[in-house]
Structure 1
Amino acid sequence: MSIVVSTLTLGGFDALPAHDRQCVFWTMDPAASSTATLVDTEFEKEAWLSMVMLEWGPCGQVATDVAGADVPASSDSVGCALYAPPGAVPRVAHFPTAPVSPDAVLLTSLYSPLSAEDGDGIRDTLLHAVVRDLVNRGVRALEAFGVRLEDSEVEERRSFIDTPPCGEATCMIDADFLEKYGFEVVAPHHRFPRLRLELDRDHGWKEDVEAALERLLEAAALTVVEADARVPVGAR
């Protein structure tokens, strides 16, 4: 699998995974969620994304498998991350750990329809792209409402890898994953902790240095292998 991450554009809605094109968990007020089956959820989601992009700027990163072999039939991508100013997200006010800090952007979706092992790698790559975008825009912090899943909910999430139904278990980000990435809990809760990642210019610099070092190590290892291969049999 060869992953390319690109910024979501106004014309790129169809490139989102099927679930993210239909999911209105974050974008509709819970009071109206009971009528979600009566509305065109894809239309509502596209309208919300367009509104955020026009008023605030880029609000999504999309991961695509350029090889194409691992892309689910109902999707053009292998994952996406969506984020926005908290004031643009209707569900925020209904969490016990609200409000989001005034200097932070809210990460709402970090989704991949692939299996857990591949999906975690893609989510990690997407988060890197989100951080880079927000650092370049001068944002001070990224926050998210994480969820602590029960064992049964973990299985529920694993069993729906293409178009899972909207709900806490499928549309919220696992708090454990966020903590592994470096988020810290700033508003504890047994179910919905709010987590925060401080952003500064060092984030992008550290990513570039780490990537460069990794490429150098891979090149050095390849050179050693090639050099060993040229030694004649019996030579010292």
Structure 2
Amino acid sequence: MSTRVTPLTLSGIEQLPAHARRCVFWEMEPAAVDDARGFVDAEFEKEAWLSMVMLEWGSCAQVATIDDKTAGCAFYAPPNMVPRARLFPTSPVSADAILLTTMRIEPLAADTALGSDLIRAVVDDLVRRNVRALEAFGFRAGGEPESSTGQVPTATAALACSPSECMLPADFLEDMGFDVVAPHPRFPRLRLELNRDHGWKEEVEAALDRLIESASFTIEDFAGRSTVGVP
């Protein structure tokens, strides 16, 4: 099974999963959607939003494929380009952060670790772009009929947009290393420090270098001792 995660391009919008292609939970003002209910071409609006963000800011999604079949995607963008970002009780997103909005996993990848692969691809992209932090509004179930299992939602074309379907579970974000910076029983805001993560990688690499160097000295010392008394 071959898994690939690549940045979304303008020419690749059609490869997005069916639900992700028409979901405008984050991309349109909720009031505008309600006022035009039945008249909004959600797929057109989503493509228009993606085109605008990619032309002004750059790629704003990572798309995963398994054996060349679309398996999932993750979306992120500057918060001022995401209409719903200012409407949460834990808004606003920090000025130095990019907002991770949503992620979808297709049924064919439901039992894989694709969620962590997508997060890693988003982080790697933003580190290259010198972004300091990644933030997200997490979702916690609060007794309503909607429920969150702590797993990334599995996408189907039939799912209606809602917080439990279009937001990331707070538990999943915490498992990925995000910290809660604005607590809330339903919609906490979480943050991942990208410079800290990058520094951690450098520290690990330095530790490995020291380990290899130490191992080299040990081997040389052992070789020297093993020759003592040998004719």
Instruction: With the length of structure 2 as denominator, give the TM-score of the two structures.
Output: 0.79
Runs of 4+ more than 4 Å apart = 155-160
Once the two structures are TM-superposed, the CA of residue 3 in structure 1 deviates from its matched residue by 1.1
Distance 2:87 2:148 in 1: 26
- Equivalence for 1:143: 135
Instruction: Give the one of 97, 101, 107 matched to 2:94.
Output: 101
Q: 1:174 to 1:159 in 2, by over 3 A?
A: closer
User: AA paired with 1:125?
Assistant: D
Q: Which runs of 5 or more structure 1 residues have no equivalent in the other structure?
A: 72-76, 214-236
- Equivalence for 1:61: 62
User: AA paired with 2:51?
Assistant: S
Query: Matched residue pairs, number?
Result: 201
- Equivalence for 1:222: none
1:169 aligns with 2:170: no
2:141 is paired with a residue whose SS is coil
1:52 is paired with a residue whose SS is helix
Taking only aligned residues, the RMSD between alpha carbons, in angstroms, comes to: 2.6
Write out aligned runs for 1:1-236 (5 A): 1-34=1-34, 35-66=36-67, 71=69, 77-114=70-107, 117-118=110-111, 121-150=113-142, 152-154=145-147, 161-163=155-157, 164-200=159-195, 202-203=197-198, 206=201
Distance 2:142 2:20 in 1: 23
1:191 is paired with a residue whose SS is coil
2:38 is paired with a residue whose SS is helix
User: AA paired with 2:166?
Assistant: C
Q: 1:39 to 1:204 in 2, by over 3 A?
A: farther
Q: Which runs of 5 or more structure 2 residues have no equivalent in the other structure?
A: 209-231
Distance 2:148 2:130 in 1: 38
2:10 is paired with a residue whose SS is coil
Q: Which structure's CA Rg is the greater one?
A: 2
1:146 is paired with a residue whose SS is strand
Q: 1:150 to 1:21 in 2, by over 3 A?
A: same
2:146 is paired with a residue whose SS is helix
Cα offsets for 1:3-36 (capped at 9, x unmatched):
1101100111011111110000000001112124
1:64 is paired with a residue whose SS is strand
